[in-house]
Amino acid sequence: MFSGLNSQRHYTSLNLIRGLAALVVLAHHVRNQFFVPFDKIPNPTLPEKAIIFVCGLGPAAVIVFFVLSGFFISSSIIKAAVDNKWSWGKYLIARLSRLYVVLVPALALTLLWDRLGSLWGLPDSTPGRESLPVLFGNLLFLQKIYFPTYGSNDPLWSLSYEFWYYIIFPLIFFAAYDFSAPLYKRISVASLAAILLFVTGKNIAMYFLIWLLGFVLVIIGNQERSPQKPGLLSSFTSILAAVIFFSSLALDRLHLIGSQFLNDAFIGIAFSVFAYALLNIRQEPNNKLYSFAADRLAGFSYTLYLVHFPLVGFLGNSVLKVQNSWNFDLLHMCYGILIIALVIVYAITVWRFTEAKTGMVRFKVTELLS
CB 57 within 8 A of CB 30: no
pLDDT of residue 242: 58
Residue 4 lies in a domain: no
pLDDT of residue 244: 60
Residue 146 lies in a domain: yes
Q: Distance between CA atoms of 65 and 73, rounded to whole angstroms?
A: 12
Residue 89 lies in a domain: yes
**Three-state secondary structure call for residue 206:** helix
Residue 240 lies in a domain: no
How buried is residue 331: exposed, middle or buried, by Cβ count under 10 Å (0-12/13-18/19+)? exposed
Residue 263 lies in a domain: no
Residue 267 lies in a domain: no
* pLDDT per residue as tens, the chain (370 positions): 554 454 334 478 899 999 999 999 999 999 999 998 877 777 878 877 788 888 888 899 999 999 999 999 999 999 999 888 999 999 999 999 999 999 999 999 999 999 998 888 777 767 778 899 999 999 999 999 999 999 999 999 999 999 999 999 999 999 888 778 888 888 999 999 999 999 999 999 999 999 999 998 888 865 544 444 444 445 555 555 555 665 555 555 555 566 888 889 988 988 988 888 888 775 556 678 888 888 889 999 999 999 999 999 999 988 877 678 888 888 989 999 999 999 999 999 999 999 999 999 999 999 998 7
CB 213 within 8 A of CB 276: no
Q: Domain limits at 28?
A: 12-228+286-369
Residue 241 lies in a domain: no
pLDDT of residue 203: 94
Residue 252 lies in a domain: no
How buried is residue 88: exposed, middle or buried, by Cβ count under 10 Å (0-12/13-18/19+)? exposed
pTM over 0.85: yes
Alpha helices in 178-259 (DSSP H): 183-199, 202-220, 232-254
Q: Count up the domains in the chain and report the number.
A: 1
Measured over all CA atoms, what is the biggest interatomic distance in the chain, rounded to whole angstroms? 67
